[in-house]
Amino acid sequence: MGGARVIVTSSSDEKLARTQLLGASEMINYRTHPEWQERVRELTSGEGVDHVIEVAGDVQRSVNVLRPGGVISQIGYLADLRIGDPQPIRISIDMIPFLLKNARLHGIAAGPRDTCEAMYRAVTIHSLEPVVDRVFDFDHAVDALRYLQSGTHFGKVCIRI
């Protein structure tokens, strides 16, 4: 919608193929290309990317693919996550590349009402449809959480109330 060139990483070739159908420009399987950040640098002719949407937690590699002045939007954190672990999640990154690039790290959480309303307007105006993988009835909420934890989903996992 915004005209971005989107480079997607995933461990699943099937999911990558689906992202291409949704409009992604480049797809990288990080299982078969563990140094995926090098491929991103190649795809951008060494310039790096403007914006990383980071959902898994590989922040250091994300810093390494940023262009100077780039932004990382951190949405959740899955690396080293252990369900039920009472310890807070700690993210360690080498700050020198981060500082030299004048990069910004932006945490993303549920925003204020006006931000949600602006998103809803954009979705309506551009006829966007969210990708919903599966909907569970409320009586099967535990199954929904197990399915989500499996990592096999593509899109949103919903619970009908």
Higher pLDDT, 101 or 83: 101
If you average pLDDT over residues 99-105, what whole number do you get?
A: 88
Residue 136 has a pLDDT of: 97
pLDDT for residue 103 is more than 80: yes
Q: What's the CA gap between 107 and 145, in Å, rounded?
A: 24
CATH of 7-110, one of 3.40.630.10, 3.30.2000.20, 3.40.50.150, 3.40.50.720: 3.40.50.720
Give residue 110's pLDDT. Answer: 66
Give the pLDDT confidence score for residue 89 in this predicted structure.
63
pLDDT for the residue 80 = 54
Q: In Å, how far are 109, 125, 128, 156 from 119, measured between CA atoms?
A: 14, 10, 11, 17
Tokens of 22: 């949704």
pLDDT surpasses 80 at 87:
no
| Mean residue pLDDT across the chain | 86
pLDDT for 130? 86
Question: Residue 143: is its pLDDT beyond 80?
Answer: yes
Largest CA distance in the chain: 51
pLDDT digits (tens, 9 = 90+) for 30-50: 999 999 999 999 999 999 999
Between 98 and 137, residue with greater pLDDT: 137
In tens, the pLDDT along 124-139 reads 998 888 899 999 999 9
- The predicted model gives 138-152 an average pLDDT of 90
Instruction: Quote the CA–CA distance of 158 and 161 in Å, as a whole number.
Output: 9
